Amino acid sequence: MSPHQVPFDNFYSVIPAGGIGSRLWPLSRADAPKFLHDLTGSGQTLLRDTWDRLVPISGADRIMVVTGRAHRAAVESQLPELSDPNIVLESEPKDSSAAIGLAAAILLKRDPNVVIGSFAADHVIRDIRGFRRSVREAIAVANAGFIAAIGITPSEPTIGFGYIHCGKAIDIDDAPSAVSVESFVEKPDFETAQAYLASGDYLWNGGMFISRADVLLEQLGRAEPELLAGLTELAEVWDTPVRDAVVDRVWPQLSKIAIDYTVAEPAAAEGRLVVVPGDFDWDDVGDFASIAKLHSGGRKSDLAILGENARVLADKSTGVVISQTGRLISLIGVNDIVVVDTPDALLVTTTANAQRVKSVVDALKISGRNDVL
Q: Which residues would be at the binding site for a copy of itself (CB under 8 A)?
A: 26, 313, 315, 327-334, 337, 339, 341, 343-350, 352-353, 356-357, 359-360, 363-364, 369, 372
Q: Are 13 and 116 in contact (CB under 8 A)?
A: yes
Q: Give the nearer residue to a copy of itself in terms of CB position, either 186 or 315.
A: 315
Q: In the complex, what is the shortest distance from the CB of residue 290 to a copy of itself, in angstroms, rounded to a whole number?
A: 16
Minimum distance from residue 360 beta carbon to a copy of itself (Å): 5
d(CA 130, CA 153): 12
141 versus 329: smaller Cβ distance to a copy of itself? 329
Closest among 279, 253, 277 to 129, alpha carbons compared? 279
Comparing CB distances to a copy of itself, the nearer of 26 and 221 is 26
Specify the residue, 231 or 364, whose C-beta has the smaller distance to a copy of itself.
Answer: 364
Question: What letter represents residue 231's amino acid?
Answer: L
Compute the least distance from the CB of residue 37 to a copy of itself, in Å: 18
Minimum Å gap between C-beta 370 and a copy of itself is: 12
Distances, alpha carbon 124 to alpha carbons 24, 114, 204, 260, 347, in Å: 15, 26, 14, 20, 23
CB closer to a copy of itself, 269 vs 352: 352
- Indicate the residue among 26 and 286 with the shorter CB distance to a copy of itself: 26
Q: From the CB of 324, what's the least distance to a copy of itself, in Å?
A: 12
3-class DSSP state of 203: strand
3-state secondary structure 60-107: HHHEEEEEEHHHHHHHHHHCCCCCHHHEEEECCCCHHHHHHHHHHHHH
Measured between alpha carbons, how far apart are the two ends of the chain, in Å?
A: 44
The β-bridge partners of 32 are 29
**Shortest Cβ 21–a copy of itself spacing (Å):** 16
How many beta carbons lie within 10 A of that of residue 87, not counting itself? 17
Give the angle subtended at the CA of 157 by the CAs of 156 and 158, to the nearest 5°: 95
Min CB(304)–a copy of itself separation in Å: 15
Cβ distance to a copy of itself smaller for residue 296 or 355: 355
How far is Cα 25 from Cα 301, in angstroms, rounded to an integer? 24
